[in-house]
Amino acid sequence: MPTPRKTKPTPRQRRQPVSVVTGGAGFLGSHLSDLLLSHGHQVVVIDNLITGSTANIQHLAGNPDFRFIHQDVTDYLYLEGKVDFVWHFASPASPIDYLELPIQTLKVGSLGTHKALGLALAKNARFLITSTSEVYGDPLIHPQTESYWGNVNPIGPRGCYDESKRFAEALVMAYHREHAIDTRIVRIFNTYGPRMRLNDGRVVPAFVSQALAGKPITVFGDGSQTRSFCFVSDLVEGIFRLMNCTHPTANLPVNIGNPHELTMLQFAEEIIRATHSKSRIVHKPLPQDDPKQRKPDISRARKLLGWEPRVPLAEGLIPTIAYFQSCLDRKASSRSR
């Protein structure tokens, strides 16, 4: 029997997909960049480093498929050549950041999203925006489904972040309807893992760094408010699947997060166990508009993407705690010089 002739790959088959990641030097964006490179993408990261850090992407220096552009995404974005995917991750994303940078947070959600969508339109690229569970505000339904419109205080201290993401979602849908851009909206719930900043104000770095230093762990209110924590590798896998999903309803919002719910008191106790710390728990007043419950309904992600989180909290905390310990060690070492 004759050997079948091998067909020569066409230029289209040979060409690598090109992904632009705004905010790619941040916690989530840097992990996404790693995943994209592992899937054979060329990756262009655009970041103004206002909350991101080159330390998160320094391991990619010298990779011929990786390029970093130091630029504010609210400025005009121009790139030569083909772009297949635009992943809009740029935004301050922690309470400390968006309370200190309210105008920049609103600008990146509005002007930054507009510029990123303009790039996708010009390049005929598929577009994904990382929205947030904060669009649900202090929710009146539990768990939160994508059909819930939210309970948000637009003029409160968290309003700059909540409303920037709600506006961004509206803008993405307007571009989808008006310009027929192939768009995706992912609503991210609490995520943790290596490369989070020690001082970013979110509960995981706060509790872990306090426990490792033997300081009291600060729980706001009585600790009965709940959160659910998704390990970063699970999260970026879900986002990657959403971008590549071709179902007719893939343009509608999708929750990505871990539905395993803990009270803040339970989480503090888990951190003390995982770090073998002798820290005690102290209580402080609850911040204004702090959500009392946060748990995703991921039925849509399960059905549309075949996705659900796989990494249990105890397992994900191991590399997370090791990372924060290394950050504290480096800090102590630099002080002793």
Catalytic residues, by residue number, are: 161
> What's the rounded Cα separation, in Å, for the pair 227 and 120?
34
Say whether 160 sits in a helix, a strand or coil. helix
SS (H, E, C) 67-112: EEEECCCCCCCCCCCCCCEEEECCCCCCHHHHHHCHHHHHHHHHHH
Query: Residue 143, preceding bond cis, omega within 30 degrees?
Result: yes
Q: Residues 6 or more apart from 123 whose CB is under 8 A from it?
A: 79, 82, 83, 84, 86
Q: Could you tell me whether strands 66-70 and 230-231 are parallel, antiparallel, or unpaired per DSSP bridges? A: unpaired
> What is the DSSP track for 269-332?
HHHHHHHT--PPEEEEPPPTT--S---B--HHHHHHH-------HHHHHHHHHHHHHHHHHHHH
Q: Is 109 exposed, middle or buried (0-12, 13-18, 19+ CB in 10 A)?
A: buried
